[in-house]
Structures are given as C-alpha cells and as structure tokens.
Amino acid sequence: MDFTKGQTDRLLASFDHGSPDECWTWERSFDRGGYGKFRLTDDLGVRRTLIAHRAVYHVIVGPIPDGMHLDHLCRNRACVNPRHLQPVTLEENTRRGVEARTHCGKGHEFTPENTGYGTRTTRGKKYPNVRYCKACAKAAQLRHQERKRAA
C-alpha cells in the first residue's frame, strides 16, 4: 500500500519518537489486543483501519514480505519502532510469544515443577505440546471433583 504525504505525516506524528533503541509508543487508538490502530481513507474514499506497527514498518523500512508477521522483539504491543520489529512466520511469532510468558493467567510462575505439556483439542482440532500451569490444572481438578460430590 502506498501512503500519501499527508497520511505519512499523520502516521509519523502519531507516536513518540524516542531514541532508536527505545520503544516508540503509539499515542492514538488501540484494538482490543493492545495494538495501535491507524485509520485512513484510500483513493476511492474507502475508510480503512491498519495495524499501526505494520503501517510504520511499511513507511520506514518497506513492505512486509508476503506471509510474514512482525514480531515485537521488545514484547510491547504499543511499540512501533521498526528496530523492535522482525518479520517472522506466524508459527515463529506464536512460539516466541508463548516462550516469553513467564506466568500463567492466574499469576503462577512457569517453573519446571509447575509446567506441564499436553494435547489440547479445540473445535475438533488437536494441538500437541501445549504448555499449561500445573497449579491451575490441580485447582480445576479439585473444583470439578467438588461439583461432582455436590451433585
């Protein structure tokens, strides 16, 4: 996608340009996942919403290779600094994101003693080697047993 000079100027004015090594934090709206959103109207008058870090990367570095996703090396979804973004496959981006998580959603640390791996089935599709928190699994098992006893 090509940006007009006005669109490029507006895009580049939408974040704090820190030093090249710092995160450049997006200062406009965000989607539910915490990624910046950039709205524009194309040549045909159609309004579009772009993911901010992808738009900034495109303007400063160039097009993102087909089939590639941008991995935030800094793990900060609000960052649009191209030095913190690396084109990778979806699988690699997902793997890195999972490995970067040090705690489960309930706050338990993923230690060797508290981390299990198993197969998860979602909508009929099996996903092998899914990491899970043993403390949360144990608590869920106890809740299930308690409900069975109460019934």
- Clarify whether residues 22 and 89 are in a common domain: yes
- Clarify whether residues 77 and 32 are in a common domain: yes
* Domain at 21, CATH number: 3.90.75.20
Residue found by looking up tokens 């299990």 in the block: 116
Q: Is 142 helix (H, G, I), strand (E, B) or coil?
A: helix
- Clarify whether residues 80 and 53 are in a common domain: yes
For 64, which DSSP code? Answer: P
What is the domain count for the chain?
Answer: 2
- Give the model confidence (pLDDT) of 54-113 as tens digits: 999 999 999 999 999 999 999 999 999 999 999 999 999 988 988 888 898 889 999 999
The model's pTM is: 0.71
- Clarify whether residues 129 and 62 are in a common domain: no
What is the pLDDT at residue 67? 95
Is the pLDDT assigned to residue 11 strictly greater than 90?
A: yes
Encoded tokens for 14: 């939408």
Mean pLDDT, to the nearest integer, of 133-141?
A: 92
Encoded tokens for 134: 């043993």
Range of the domain at 57: 1-100
What is the pLDDT at residue 2? 83
- Clarify whether residues 140 and 92 are in a common domain: no
**C-alpha dihedral over 44, 45, 49, 52, to 10 degrees?**
80
